[in-house]
Amino acid sequence: MNRKQAEKLIGTRVHAWTSANGEYVGELVQVKPGAKWRGVVRIDGIMVPPVTFEFGRRYPRRGFRVGELIEVGHSSITPTEAYGVTDYLSILEGQAADFRQKHEDYLAGKFGNPNDPVCVQNYAWYAAGAKMVEQAIEIERQRLAELDRAPDADDANDAKPGM
């Protein structure tokens, strides 16, 4: 779609695809001008988590959370009526379960002889992937625990003498 068509979608529900950074749904809040315009989307749902596992990465890729803004290229935005998952931790847990299942399937020989070099390579890949997703889960749990420990703005004002 061109920029003028996109500007008519401001305030409406869109799907934002980011390749390795995940797929999200939310409200288109801004269209940045240019021949290859970009859109800013306020996320209210996660369709697909980011690719948390990549060879050469030391830490998992951080995805976007509900309420955050994401900027994506013009060809990555489409109108939608879809709603995604709002709990980032649960989507990571589902991704980890998928990795663990694939790992078990390779061990069980569901994709061929488990001793075949291709199966051994894929087995190792899914094992490493599962570990990286588990690391992402732990990071998200720590983030949520820190949010729980942070005082609310109202609580901070209540604690000040003379207020």
pLDDT digits (tens, 9 = 90+) for 86-139: 999 999 999 888 888 887 887 788 877 878 887 777 777 777 888 888 999 999
Q: What is the structure's pLDDT at 154?
A: 54
Rounded distance between C-alpha atoms, residue 64 and residue 128, angstroms: 23
The residues near 128 (Cβ < 8 Å, ≥ 6 apart) are 53
Q: Output 52 or 98, whichever has higher pLDDT.
A: 98
Across 22-26, 28-32, 56-60, 82-86, least confident range: 56-60
